[in-house]
Amino acid sequence: LIIVAVLISFIIYATFRAFENKYYFAEPLISPFYSPCLSTACVEGAAHFGTPIGAFTIFGFLISPALFILIFPLGFRLTCYYYRKSYYRSFWMSPPACAVAEPHSKYTGETRAPLILQNGHRWFFYAGLVLNVILTYDAIIAFKNPEGEWGHMSVGTLILVLNAAMLWLYSASCHTCRHTIGGRLRSFSKHPIRYKLWSWVSVLNHSHPTYAWISLFVVAFTDFYIRLVATGTITNFYFF
């Protein structure tokens, strides 16, 4: 029940923020829900990588820039092995627990539509790595002040750094990451560097569920904090 409540709450909040289409940038902070902001509809200063995507409307409504990018982190989490276990059990009771019989009379696993799309997890993982690099860049940019001068640090800086770090831990502990690095090697002795990396990732993999939940909360909190700053509700305090 707790897992259902948390996942539904996150989906509702993320959907609201994606369609709100404002309060996602407060120089130099940008929400992870809107980064990279690639649309010409992005607010001034938010498009760190240019605006290769034009502004599109549907029935007169401007499409939020967040909708162009959220498909990738959302797809990464929805197809994640740990999250699949969580929502299969909590939403579909499939199965409700170990050694408990399936409530469904027929079991097809992930061999038919739409669950066969879960096999795209590897590609969402690669897209997630690209987004991690971009969010790390955003965290570095956050060491500027609102006037664009380097060498400053605020509460927002720390939050963006924490967000990037947790997303890297979530990605690095992923089962796909572990398999990509060393899962297909026939001989570890012939690939000592990859074996070492595989060993490190294997250690992280044990805590993958923990990183999955912490990173989910942190990314939502990061967006919420930036929204508060952008609306003028709070001030982004600078340490120096």
Q: What is the pLDDT of residue 53?
A: 85
pLDDT tens sequence across 14-41: 999 999 999 999 999 999 999 999 999 9
Domain annotation covers residue 64: yes
Q: Is residue 240 part of a domain?
A: no
Residue 165 lies in a domain: yes
Residue 196 resides in a domain: yes
Phi and psi at 29, nearest 5°, equal -95, 135
For residue 225 the two structure tokens come to 């904090």
Q: What is the mean pLDDT of residues 198-207?
A: 94
For the ranges 28-32, 92-96, 192-196, the one whose mean pLDDT is highest:
28-32
Between 79 and 4, whose confidence is greater? 79
Q: What is the pLDDT of residues 59-70, one digit of tens each?
A: 778 889 898 889
Residue 108 included in any domain:
no
Work out how many domains the chain is built from and give that number: 1
Find the domain containing 209 and state its range.
Answer: 2-101+114-230
Torsion sign, CA atoms 186, 189, 193, 195: positive
Count other C-beta atoms under 10 Å from residue 183's C-beta: 12
Cβ partners under 8 Å of residue 33, min gap 6: 14, 17, 18, 24, 66, 70, 219, 223
Q: For residue 239, is it within any domain?
A: no
Measured between alpha carbons, how far is 132 from 138 in angstroms, rounded to an integer?
10
**pLDDT averaged over every residue in the chain:** 90
Mean pLDDT of the 228-235 span: 98
Residue 109 lies in a domain: no
Residue 76 lies in a domain: yes
